[in-house]
Amino acid sequence: MKKLVIAAIFSTALIPNITLAGNPHFIGPITAKFATGQANPGSVDVCWKEAGVGNNQSINYLASAQTATATYVCVNNGGNCPAAANKVNVTGPVSKSGSFSSAKNGSINACLRIEPPSGEALDCPGQTVTLSEVSYSGIGVKDATNNIEKMSVYIGGNTLSKTFMSCGD
């Protein structure tokens, strides 16, 4: 009987530690902002902090936008849009996955970059296919390892958009 009581006390003492180590949760807001630089125009960096994932754990994430719309136009060598109505609108979900390690503190600060839908369907003989404008809505991140997710919130609406150039209609 004495061994049973000691085992029960020992087991009860371990339960809070197990519970605390397995409590993954996002901390603060998910941020989404347009990436800087010319290499990836229209790309968005989705950033987050998650805690409670355990020490030295590899966690799989998926950053996504439920809807992304990109408008591509043809631009001539002079940097202008031709008089022809050569443009294409592409809409669909976009996502990027990645794995990150929690190290010794049980938390992860990370970012993944989502790209706009491709404009490869636009044919511009002798001209350059150029991203004219892009918008994203329903941006969020999912911890695929622990099956939890969080959406980003924008002040004044739920769409992140940017116009790079306007060719008129």
Indicate if the pLDDT at residue 6 is higher than 60.
Answer: no
Token output for 51: 């805690």
What is the number of other CB atoms lying within 10 angstroms of the CB of residue 102? 19
pLDDT band, very low/low/confident/very high, at 156 (cuts 50, 70, 90): low
> How remote is the C-alpha of 153 from its chain's centroid?
13
Burial 52-61 (b: 16+ CB within 10 A, else e): bbeeebebeb
> What ranges do the domains of the chain cover?
23-163
pLDDT band, very low/low/confident/very high, at 55 (cuts 50, 70, 90): very high
- Mention every residue, 6+ apart, whose C-beta is less than 8 A from residue 150: 26, 30, 48, 140, 141
Largest interatomic CA distance in the chain: 92
Indicate if the pLDDT at residue 4 is higher than 60.
Answer: no
* Long-range contacts, 144-147 (Cβ 8 Å, 24+): 144/60, 144/61, 144/62, 144/97, 145/53, 145/57, 145/58, 145/59, 145/60, 146/24, 146/53, 146/59
In terms of average pLDDT, the best of 25-29, 33-37, 81-85, 165-169 is 25-29
DSSP 8: H
User: If we measure between CA atoms, which residue out of 78, 77, 54, 71 comes closest to residue 126?
Assistant: 77
Contact assessment for residue 99 and residue 58, using Cβ atoms and an 8 Å cutoff: yes
84-137: pLDDT as tens digits: 778 899 999 999 999 999 988 899 999 999 999 999 989 988 899 999 999 999
DSSP 127: S
Q: Which residue is listed with tokens 């060719």?
A: 167
